[in-house]
Structure 1
Amino acid sequence: MTTCDEIEADKRSEQPSLIRLVLFFVMQGAAVILVGFAALFLSFEPVWSAERLQSNFLKPGDARAGSLLLKIDEGYADASRLGADVDLTVSGPTVRARVTQIFRNPSKDWVEAVYVYPLPAGGAVDSLKMVIGDRVVVGDIKERQQAKAIYEQAKQSGQKAALTEQERPNIFTNSVANIGPGETVLVQIEYQEPVQQSGNAFSLRVPMVVAPRYNPAPVVQSVDFRPGSGWGAIKSDPVPDRDRISPEVLDPAINATVNPTRVTVRLQAGFPLGEVKSHHHAIKTEKPDANTDIITLAEGPVPADRDFELTWKPAAEMAPSVGLFRERVGDSDYLLAFVTPPSVEQAQQKPLPREVIFVIDNSGSMGGVSIIQAKASLTYALGRLQPNDRFNVIRFDDTMDVLFPSAVPADRAHIGRATSFVGALQANGGTEMVPAMRAALFDKAGDANYVRQVVFLTDGAIGNEQQLFETINALRGRSRIFMVGIGSAPNTYLMTRAAELGRGTFTHIGSVEQVEERMRSLFAKLENPAVTNLAAKFSDASADMTPAALPDIYRDEPLVLAAKLDKLTGSVEIKGRAGDRPWIVTLPLTSAAEGKGLSKLWARRKIADAEVARTTRQATPEEADKTILALALEHQLVTRLTSLVAVDKTPSRPEGEPLKFSELPINLPAGWDIEKLFGERPRVPATPTERHADTDEARLQVAALKRVQPIATQAPNAIALPKTATDAELKMIAGVILLTVGLILLVFNRRQFNRRQMSLR
């Protein structure tokens, strides 16, 4: 039998082991908690600063939200503060745009940054400024090769320099040399473009990303050399500049978006405004006075992965049908006229039946939401056909199918079969657009009793635009080509030029919600007579007018004329046929209001005329180039033959310091499927949960470019992506788990300790 003294002795003997056990449990829990806190601490990434740049290298998958990567020898350096500020002022019929790009070098090296970016195809780029600290360097227009030589010499001499080059009328390249470690350089370009009008709606578009282009492989013709034969190999590349229009595209599944962009529009329409609408971005509007609306992005800067489109309508039901504006530059007057003919129904005459050839692009670039928009658009169009129409459907990627051997009646059976065919399409493969256009323009019947129309649905993501234009010019015959641009970043240059050469129109559909509205508008053009046989005559003034040959005008479209005049007197008479009726309007030139930048718009349109004349062989390449160069140098415009170059006179890169080349990557356009473009790609766990757009907090107005505000950080704006985690987020998750485990162990150990205490009592 155990006595009380023995029990007390047992308790005393167990106390040292009990204390050790408690200490073990406490230390175990504390260790877990410390590990958890360490993981949490490591998950917080350091703030960007020039002092930390030398060690700030990472892999593409490690990029923080809103970051841009500069490729350097050691890997990639995070350049999270590179961004752009787009400031647009609408003055009646014209838009003046200022685009400020921020190039910041986060690495320890001296770098040359090269960035490919889009601009409106009709924009006249005429100004370049480079800002380094408090210094402003103004660019000069030079012949392209001369500008390149000046830039290269400055680069080799260690001077900061900027070069703006045109790769296509809607694709430009900025090169900035000798950006030092931790330095920021601002490059600002300006351009002028006309406002677009359709019916009672006016609009502007800011392209934000160069969509990846499909570039057909070079064609190689060769003959074996034999002694004395004299035959060799001839190589022909349909896209000789493919390397200059194909920047690296970041996979959104493993990279955050880059190139955050801020947009501000100062809208002075010249008439009371009704609806003002942004189609792809949320906006907010301020009204500082009765004549001005200031439109900004509601959520601040956005990733450059889709076009910004703004439309506005007059407060009255009907839009102005005539606009006349003038500008005096030097000894010449420049005129810009907008005239919208009245909508006229065919009088007492049944419209001719139509033969409509639908072409749909189902290549890889149409993957994602684009193919949904294209299929919905074509399905809608099939439903609009009339019983006396006939039609066919062609689909293409790097192969092609023609649904029927020839055009068939638009009866229920044929439309049903076509609808099923369209519904089954999937996006994949390359974009061989030229063979599809050839097939669409092949006019087997040649029946003059049918109006022949080609409706071509595509994103236009090809690099061999010139081949397509030459095909249209050679084969268009009696066909009219109506281009329908699909997706968030269509190739508007290809669309508008193809429609111009095909005597049709261009319609853009940027979202599924726009399908019915915009296809209805397109069919209003297809189903109603155009205004044809247009001509313009000035009564007193001698005029150099563009376009030289006036196009047909479809329902709700304005005729847009630009002219250089020796004197602003008399009138201009415009006449044509609206359906089967004569139409005429006379505009007194003295009624023209003051406009801005009209000389630039005239010159840009004359340059486009020269390019068209070259394509249609109305001018030789040498004659066209001579015209383009003379216009570009006189009006200080960037073209394929001229560039803007700015050089800081003071060398900044120390002699002997190497210069690293850094080509900046771009985003995949919103809604695109990267695997449809490049095939399946390996996935890594270090992917961002959200896509942000960081940008410069300063407004970057650089008013008169006398001061540059310091760079600060803007709160990011989230765009949802697939729910995966970055390294930092994984560390945070691990830390939370370890903390939880530590707390559970502490609670469990505490209970065990209490129970042991109770058993010993």
Structure 2
Amino acid sequence: MTQTLEQQPSGLYLQNSNQQIAFPLKHTEVKAKIAGNISRVEVTQSFENPFTTSLEAVYIFPLPDEAAVDDMLIRIGDRTIQGSIKKRQEAVAIYEQARKQGHTAGLLEQERDNIFTQSLANIKPGEQIDVIIRYSDSLKFEGGNYEFVFPMVVGPRYIPGITIAEDAVGGGSAIAPMTLNQDTDLVSDASRLNAPILPSGMRSSHDINVTIEINAGVEIQDINSPSHQIQIIREEQLVNVKLGGGDTIPNKDLILRYQVSNNKIQTTTLTQADERGGHFALYLIPALEYRPEEIVAKDMVFLIDSSGSQSGEPLMQCQELMRRFINGLNPDDTFNIIDFSDTTQQLSPVPLSNTSQNRSLAINYINRLNAGGGTEMLGGIRTVLNLKTTNPGRLRNIVLLTDGYIGNENQILAEVKQRLQPGTRLHSFGAGSSVNRFLLNRIAELGRGIARIIRHDEPVDEVVEKFFRQINNPVLANIQLQWEGDGESPIMYPSTPPDLFAEQPLVLFGRKSDAHSGKLHISGIAAGGRRYQYSFHLNFPQTGNPAIAQLWGRSRIKDLMNQMVSGDTKGGVEAVTDTALAYQLLSQYTAFVAVSDEIRVNPNQDFISVQVPVEIPEAISHEGIFGNAVAAAPSGAMVNQPMVRRSREAKKQSAPPPMSAPAPAKPMPRFEEMESLAMEHDIPASEPEIGFADVDEFSNLERFSLFSEQLMPQLEEMNLDDQLEDLKALQREESSIPHLQIVSFTGLDQQMIYLLTQYLQAIQLPRGFGGDLVFEFQVNQGRVKQLMLDDEASSLKEQTVIELIRRSLLAWLPSQTFTSTVLLTLRIQA
């Protein structure tokens, strides 16, 4: 039996009233080296076991959303164990087996582009183990300013949808800090996104130190950080930056900005070659001017997040941004305001002209906004994307203001990708200390707009002025890329270059498999209709920065993932996995695992599993996130989560019997209506018998047809006109309802197929669609996981139907003892 915390000696855990919170993560050390546009970062996480039994520590943490994570190792004393990249399912199996056998093991997984999970098993009592993670990243560069960002904490994500399972990490002897951790049909991995958050006023023992070495090759100027106190040490053209001694709490993004004295650095080409081919990174800022008098009238729509996580300083910053936006509009512009939390509201049903009276109306609307409720962003996004255009001559610009604290990012991105009109631009503004940069950056990319992230305490005047200066007229549009030279053309990302705004660079990553040199011609249409062209000479010497290849691989993975925002496809998952393995990169389908050679703890003894608690991001309100009532929260609200868990074996022994998922609500089956009619008039009739062998060929519609054939003649003989007409009407209605049928399967036995068939029959499908859908997924520990659509083998392409069935399959709860890889073909007959 696992020991309780009361039996442990003093150490890195805290007794707080009735709460006991363990702190196995002692320290994080970050060392970054910046050369030109590229950073190479090493993150060392030091874990220590304060208990008298072995420990498993699980830590949810952020990294930059475009970081190419290509190395992980664990250090035990003077020994180093190198991690290896595997397919994620394989890596998890290796880790679990090593943990059960008593080996010390580390597992690094990616949940989102900017959320990662580090698991470290079998830490001996009193022992310290370091986990070292390395990644490469491309610095943001705009208007002569470089920006280096290191995120330190994952903000609490709001989880929409219907809960589909009990807490996947429940049980244990300690009360957790507050978090939301229940999986839903919209966010099936919600339990892996939110770390336990410390109660208000409580500090963990975890601290962080960051050292940044900058070698730009030229003089570096105006080094500053809006987020942290920093120390600057100069050695000729080399600059070292460290955190100030009093700013080591990991509760906000580190932002470091600086300028370089040589503006030629704005156009840069970096190359690298190896056995995989020649790789290049290209940074170009066109030297183009535009005339303010060429400004086109705009229709500005502001979409502001007023949910609970925005409470306090974040909402006040967004309100100040909005006031500046309204007062910065051009005379011929029109505007509207939409705000969302649990519900969506708007200032006006139609765009308002830019008059003093309308501006006053808008400012009053902005000033009355209050933060509260959940972040139901989808409602706001759908509302703003469905707004009708009243004047086609105006360029519509949508500006989203949010912290991005949601778990259903892909659902939002899919909506933008499917519904954004070609002439509309969608921009994103994040205000806060640790916003969801992944969501904000991807929304702007798909929206062909600009992403801006500022802290809650930064001045907004310059930011708003620069934003309007940029969007008033894109300086380069319709960008085309053409290769001149021997061999095949390079594969470049982004595959469709975006329009460029003033002072914004074009950043491309390319790979030429034969590594032959050549020229890359970049052309586009500049302001006023003028044609612009620039050419790069590319050579691929064997020397070069190896990070360039990794960044190309990361860019390819991002492009492939953008194509799967509506859901995983078999071809897309395979392409991401192959790229990640070829370039040794972490992804959502690969993971790093490291295992000690020797058995280090007794595998037959109990162990304690601890999920590392984290600080709430700076300036985020506990009350805004959790409200006053934390326990017994409804679906989609924050709930308590046990932070110290029993061993997994103990959990399994005490788990309740497996149950299948409750079927979605539906009207009373028509069969039951007919059965009631037969009983009312004493007409003998019975439901056709169905066996397991043919259950996949039977449906509610067929049951209705057989029963109605049996009942109809007897009703006609009795001349029950009203009932007869009702039955005929029901028959016509039922015949138009789509019929969902399992036509083939592997990996499920007859009983599981029977249960799945009954479950799927409850789905209310929209009319007018038919075809086959082929899914592949894993069944493990009572859940459907790694669900992929085989888009090539599927004939039905309607996303609404696919999403409905995908969500239903993810919500299905098979037996917890059943484990299998399943291939399932469904047929929908209109």
Cα offset, 1:582, TM superposition: 1.1
1:494 aligned onto 2:443: no
Alignment-mate amino acid for residue 675 of structure 1:
E
For 1:258 and 1:461, the matched residues in 2 are separated by: 25
For 1:473 and 1:162, the matched residues in 2 are separated by: 37
**Does the CA contact (< 8 Å) of 1:275 and 1:315 recur in 2?**
no
Alignment-mate amino acid for residue 61 of structure 1:
N
1:586 corresponds to? 535
SS in 2 for 1:560: strand
| Alpha-carbon RMSD | 2.2
For 2:348 and 2:406, the matched residues in 1 are separated by: 27
2:239 corresponds to? 293
1:19-56 deviations in Å (ceiling 9; x for gaps):
xxxxxxxxxxxxxxxxxxxxxxxxxxxxxxxxx96245
**1:520 pairs with one of 453, 461, 465:** 465
1:437 aligned onto 2:381: yes
1:554 corresponds to? 501
The structure whose RCO (Cα within 8 Å, separation 6+) is larger is 1
For 1:473 and 1:55, the matched residues in 2 are separated by: 53
Q: How does 1:666-705 map to 2 (within 5 A)?
A: 666-680=614-628
1:197 corresponds to? 141
Cα offset, 1:652, TM superposition: 1.0
Q: How does 1:447-462 map to 2 (within 5 A)?
A: 447-462=391-406
**Does the CA contact (< 8 Å) of 1:508 and 1:518 recur in 2?**
no
1:307 aligned onto 2:257: no
**Does the CA contact (< 8 Å) of 2:271 and 2:539 recur in 1?**
no
Alignment-mate amino acid for residue 437 of structure 1:
I
Q: How does 1:19-34 map to 2 (within 5 A)?
A: none
1:264-286 deviations in Å (ceiling 9; x for gaps):
10111233211111111011111
SS in 1 for 2:469: helix
1:247 corresponds to? 195
For 2:12 and 2:590, the matched residues in 1 are separated by: 37
For 1:108 and 1:76, the matched residues in 2 are separated by: 16
SS in 1 for 2:330: coil
Q: TM-score, normalised by structure 1?
A: 0.76
Alignment-mate amino acid for residue 604 of structure 2:
G
For 2:315 and 2:278, the matched residues in 1 are separated by: 47
1:234-279 deviations in Å (ceiling 9; x for gaps):
x9711000100011111232x1145311011011123321111111
**Does the CA contact (< 8 Å) of 1:441 and 1:479 recur in 2?**
no
Alignment-mate amino acid for residue 436 of structure 1:
G
Alignment-mate amino acid for residue 239 of structure 1:
V
For 1:172 and 1:680, the matched residues in 2 are separated by: 30
1:271 corresponds to? 218
Alignment-mate amino acid for residue 161 of structure 1:
A
1:723 corresponds to? none
SS in 2 for 1:669: coil
For 2:370 and 2:15, the matched residues in 1 are separated by: 30
Alignment-mate amino acid for residue 339 of structure 1:
L
CA 56–335 in structure 1, closer or farther in 2 if over 3 Å, else same:
closer
CA 681–445 in structure 1, closer or farther in 2 if over 3 Å, else same:
closer
Cα offset, 1:481, TM superposition: 0.5
For 1:457 and 1:535, the matched residues in 2 are separated by: 31
Cα offset, 1:315, TM superposition: 2.4
**Does the CA contact (< 8 Å) of 2:273 and 2:540 recur in 1?**
no
For 2:493 and 2:220, the matched residues in 1 are separated by: 30
For 1:257 and 1:645, the matched residues in 2 are separated by: 27
SS in 1 for 2:440: helix
Cα offset, 1:595, TM superposition: 3.2
**Does the CA contact (< 8 Å) of 2:226 and 2:458 recur in 1?**
no
1:659-683 deviations in Å (ceiling 9; x for gaps):
111111111000011011111269x
Cα offset, 1:319, TM superposition: 5.9
Cα offset, 1:301, TM superposition: 5.8
**Does the CA contact (< 8 Å) of 1:372 and 1:512 recur in 2?**
no
Deviates further, 533-542 or 665-674: 533-542
CA 204–461 in structure 1, closer or farther in 2 if over 3 Å, else same:
same
CA 520–595 in structure 1, closer or farther in 2 if over 3 Å, else same:
farther
**1:576 pairs with one of 524, 531, 536:** 524
Cα offset, 1:567, TM superposition: 2.5
2:16 corresponds to? 61
For 2:10 and 2:287, the matched residues in 1 are separated by: 67
For 2:71 and 2:23, the matched residues in 1 are separated by: 30
**Does the CA contact (< 8 Å) of 1:545 and 1:564 recur in 2?**
yes
1:604 corresponds to? 554
**Does the CA contact (< 8 Å) of 1:532 and 1:577 recur in 2?**
yes
**Does the CA contact (< 8 Å) of 1:324 and 1:591 recur in 2?**
no
SS in 2 for 1:197: strand
1:386-426 deviations in Å (ceiling 9; x for gaps):
12100000111111111101111011111111011111212
Alignment-mate amino acid for residue 430 of structure 2:
G
For 1:528 and 1:176, the matched residues in 2 are separated by: 51
For 1:595 and 1:57, the matched residues in 2 are separated by: 41
Alignment-mate amino acid for residue 535 of structure 2:
T
For 2:525 and 2:495, the matched residues in 1 are separated by: 18
Point out 4+ residue stretches in structure 1 off by more than 4 angstroms: 55-60, 590-593
Cα offset, 1:587, TM superposition: 1.4
**Does the CA contact (< 8 Å) of 1:675 and 1:681 recur in 2?**
no
**2:52 pairs with one of 108, 118, 125:** 108
SS in 2 for 1:606: helix
1:484 corresponds to? 429
2:306 corresponds to? 362
1:510 corresponds to? 455
Pairs aligned (count): 600
2:828 corresponds to? none
CA 390–187 in structure 1, closer or farther in 2 if over 3 Å, else same:
same
**Does the CA contact (< 8 Å) of 1:334 and 1:602 recur in 2?**
yes
CA 498–60 in structure 1, closer or farther in 2 if over 3 Å, else same:
farther
**2:122 pairs with one of 178, 183, 186:** 178
**2:36 pairs with one of 76, 92, 95:** 92
**2:156 pairs with one of 212, 219, 228:** 212
For 1:57 and 1:88, the matched residues in 2 are separated by: 28
CA 331–429 in structure 1, closer or farther in 2 if over 3 Å, else same:
closer
CA 454–303 in structure 1, closer or farther in 2 if over 3 Å, else same:
same
**Does the CA contact (< 8 Å) of 1:262 and 1:300 recur in 2?**
no
**2:132 pairs with one of 166, 171, 188:** 188
**Does the CA contact (< 8 Å) of 1:263 and 1:301 recur in 2?**
no
1:151 corresponds to? 95
For 2:228 and 2:276, the matched residues in 1 are separated by: 43
Cα offset, 1:443, TM superposition: 3.5
For 1:95 and 1:157, the matched residues in 2 are separated by: 39
For 1:589 and 1:61, the matched residues in 2 are separated by: 62
For 1:156 and 1:333, the matched residues in 2 are separated by: 44
Q: TM-score, normalised by structure 2?
A: 0.70
1:684-728 deviations in Å (ceiling 9; x for gaps):
xxxxxxxxxxxxxxxxxxxxxxxxxxxxxxxxxxxxxxxxxxxxx
1:649 aligned onto 2:597: yes
Cα offset, 1:219, TM superposition: 8.2
Cα offset, 1:455, TM superposition: 0.5
For 1:470 and 1:218, the matched residues in 2 are separated by: 20
For 1:345 and 1:576, the matched residues in 2 are separated by: 15
1:373 aligned onto 2:322: no
SS in 2 for 1:588: strand
**Does the CA contact (< 8 Å) of 1:258 and 1:666 recur in 2?**
no
Alignment-mate amino acid for residue 194 of structure 2:
S
Cα offset, 1:535, TM superposition: 1.1
Alignment-mate amino acid for residue 304 of structure 1:
P
1:352 aligned onto 2:296: yes
For 1:91 and 1:596, the matched residues in 2 are separated by: 12
Structure 1, unaligned runs of 5 or more? 1-51, 64-70, 221-234, 683-761
